[in-house]
Chain A
Amino acid sequence: MRRGKSRSTRISVAILSCALAIGLLVSPLGATEIKKIHFLIPGGAGGGWDGTARGVGKALLDSKLLEQASFENMSGGGGGKALNHLISTAERQEGTLLVNSTPIIIRSLTGVFPQSFRDLTPIASVIADYAAFVVAKDSKYTSFKEVVADFNKDPKSVKIGGGSVRGSMDHLVPAMVFQAAGEDPLKVKYIPYDAGGKAMAGLLSGDVQILSTGFSEALGLARQGVVRILAVTSAKRLSQAPEVATVKELGYDVVFANWRGFFGVPNLAKEKAEEYRILLKKMYATPEWEEIRTKHGWQNLYQSGDEFYSFLENQEQTLGDMMRKLGFLE
């Protein structure tokens, strides 16, 4: 009896998945099965992860792509706590997406937490924020080239502030750029602040001359004329600030994207993961997403599945190399 039942379930599941597969073949962007998503946010309310998860959730809900979204903030251990939680309760977390970003790579390299993105199922990256070099409005610098020239003369005279500890993204990116300019990355004078806002205050007070931060974090104050963005690390100039040069066009071959994206539980069923990817892909075409995206100054960066995975591996390699050079890794 029991066996029969399980067999019939199995058959019906098979039929269903066949139907689903056919449905997907017929219209690759057809209706998905996902009705609700639980977003797990490894940081507190108001942070970057929080904004991304809630922004994506809101766009999906408002555009009726999703019926229900719930959010859970679980801060602690630099994001390690939520990661740990997701992995240890994986069997009942199929409907959960963990939001994360570049720091997951840095923190697993330094061993803040033992796991890495390989222990999860990468779904897709959703947005990117490129790194930017920012100066106060009355700064003597008008081009990033002058900064490099000053650094060449006296590395100590160029103090670069950032909103996180030494060895974090805000530190690694300028180190990479100065290395590309033929300078010694070890000589970069990086001044850490405990939050992006404090680092911005440090730039405005004259504590530091250059701020290494995210483009979207600086855009608001740049528009208001308080600061100037000297350069960004995107491949091409960004539409929100077409006057800002890219580091690459200045002759320093660095492109760096701080991605934000979603992960599912370890060994998530392939079909389920694919459904999430399709759902997120569909979101880009909606006006609701466009509105949220422009409000926050985010750049679209959709990479899913294998493409996302190899992007992560690549980034791990680049960041790891720089961290080894700077002595943060053995």
Chain B
Amino acid sequence: MWEGMISGMLTGITTTLIPINIAMVLMGCFAGSFIGMLPGLGPITAVALMIPVTYGLDPTTGMVLLSGVYYGAIFGGSTSSILINAPGEAATVATALDGYPLARQGYPGKALAIAAYSSFSGGTIAVILMMFFAPMLASVATSFQSADYFALMLLGLTAVSAFAGRGGVLKALLMVIVGLMLATVGTDQTSGIQRFTFGSLELLDGIEFLMLAMATFALTEALSIVLKRDACSDSFKAKMIGFKSLKVTKKEFKFILPTILRSSILGFFVGVLPGAGATLGSFMAYGMERNLASKEEQKKFGKGSLRGLAAPETGNNAASTGSFVPLLTLGIPGSGTTAVMLGALIAYGIEPGPRMFVERPDVFWGVIMSMYLGNVFLLILNLPLIPYFARLLAIPRNIMVPVILFFSLMGVYLVTFNDFDIQMMVFFCIAAMALRLMNFPMAPLLLGFILGGLMEDNLRRALMIYDDSMSFMWERPITLGINLATIFILTMPLTRSAIKYVRGK
């Protein structure tokens, strides 16, 4: 088996290193990170845009290009999250939580650099894991049942505690509930019944996540810059001129290194599961990091913590690489973007599945090997640009704000070409603005929204499978294990204070 793998890797290296494929990795990474940087445009748009380009190319070359676009877009997506709080993609929402505050404090260069290093490490570690374990990981991808997914989503919801710092636990919980409620709008995935659509065709497919994220993050942020008369914008500009810290110090590197390692592995495994994906990967990495952090460090989360930035950024890149495992070894797409890529693979006449790395080792290993190259390219492409991107923040706000508004609205419109989405976006923006002024945090809303739909579907499916009995919560070892972890996290603060109390006595 190892022999087969080594010869496969060699095939991969030789196919990747032919000039056209190197050029395609470069082109894919460039196009992907460029499109990903634009607020509102994420990997799915980027990949869909590139598919026509790949027709007529050799399958390996085409796939190398498409996967470059995919992880390039995830890589680039962090830029708009950090600089203007406008995540272009669900997976980069968590990046904005600490990346944006860090940039506002005058460290945009450092924030971008940390994001770039984290993305690079997350991507590379995930490729290494995939290279050695891809065939075995196929069975991991199919070991999760609906009950396990439900337990995983519950565990994901505990990340909410990470956002509670800013405005109190109660407010965070309230916003989670609002998010869960918004997730119920649209056609119910189980029964096909329409819920809260008010007879409107437009609401049939539910609320678009990207639209909600842009409305609650980017638009409200831009508007609050306007509202704050004494805005930091000017003082901020003065701070910016020195560009005090583009460099990440050695000490900081050491500080985030364990985070990167942990988040890579967690993100990768979450990405391998076809029912989870990069968004969950980034949120869970963020939640885990906060739960592991010390008391003082926890306070910094949401206010520009380096770990809080590195964790989700590593997690989402590792997860997006991980999602290639079910795609290539089983032909099962875990996300919209990989579904588009599956369509492309079939159009090339390639059947993904467990025999793919025997029958088409050139494509299978070519794609994996090209990812190493791609991650290096992305780092080289992005690092020198950081000072220029960082300088974008020095643009006066009377220019900056309209530009953010324009790109955010355009980004949402370009995905669906639907003017109703724009109207809804404005509505949500106003509602979010009001909530923001009352100090309600927005991140729990998005977390609830993302997890809401998935959680409900998996719960109802598990109930149907277990004939309406709740026993699925403990019957399988995986479910039980995840649930115990959730209980452990939830009771940790309690146990901590209990221990303290006993010791104090």
Contact = CB atoms under 8 A, between A and B. Distances in A.
A197 B188 contact: no
B125 interface: no
Contacts of B423: none
B330 A226 contact: yes
B331 A208 contact: no
B144 interface: yes
Contact of B204 (A54, A74, A77): A77
Interface in B134-170: 141-146
Interface stretch (B23-31, B189-197, B213-221): B189-197
A107 B106 CA distance: 54
Interface stretch (B292-300, B344-352, B386-394, B432-440): B344-352
Given A159-B465, A193-B461, A165 B190 contact: yes
Interface string B457-487: 1000100110100000000000000000000
A140 to B, nearest CB: 18
Interface of A: 44-47, 50-51, 54-55, 58, 74-78, 80-81, 84, 110, 112-113, 156, 159, 165-168, 189, 191-195, 197-198, 200-202, 204-208, 220-221, 223-226, 295-296, 328
Interface stretch (B91-99, B282-290, B332-340, B441-449): B332-340
Nearest to B460: A192
Nearest to B348: A295
B322 interface: no
Nearest to B49: A45
A168 B192 contact: yes
Interface string B260-284: 0000000000000011000000000
Nearest to B467: A156
B502 interface: no
B418 interface: yes
B416 interface: yes
B342 A197 contact: yes
Contacts of A207: 145-146, 461, 465
17 contacts: A45-B48, A46-B342, A76-B416, A77-B201, A189-B464, A191-B465, A197-B339, A201-B141, A201-B275, A201-B330, A205-B142, A206-B145, A207-B465, A220-B346, A224-B355, A225-B355, A296-B346
A191 B144 contact: no
B204 A221 contact: no
Contact of B344 (A46, A113, A189, A198): A46
Nearest to A164: B192
Contacts of A191: 461, 464-465
B349 A295 contact: yes
B192 A81 contact: no
B54 interface: no
A207 B142 CA distance: 10
Contact of A197 (B187, B191, B333, B356): B333
B465 A208 contact: yes
Interface string B309-330: 0000000000000000010001
B51 interface: yes
Given A44-B336, A167-B192, A207-B145, 10 more contacts: A159-B465, A197-B339, A198-B274, A220-B346, A221-B331, A224-B355, A225-B354, A225-B355, A226-B330, A296-B346
A202 B330 contact: no
B234 interface: no
A194 B274 CA distance: 12
Contacts of A156: 467
B205 interface: yes
A328 to B, nearest CB: 8
A78 B187 contact: yes
B202 interface: yes
Interface in B337-377: 339-344, 346-347, 349, 351-356
A221 B328 CA distance: 12
B488 interface: no
Contacts of B332: 197-198, 200-201, 204
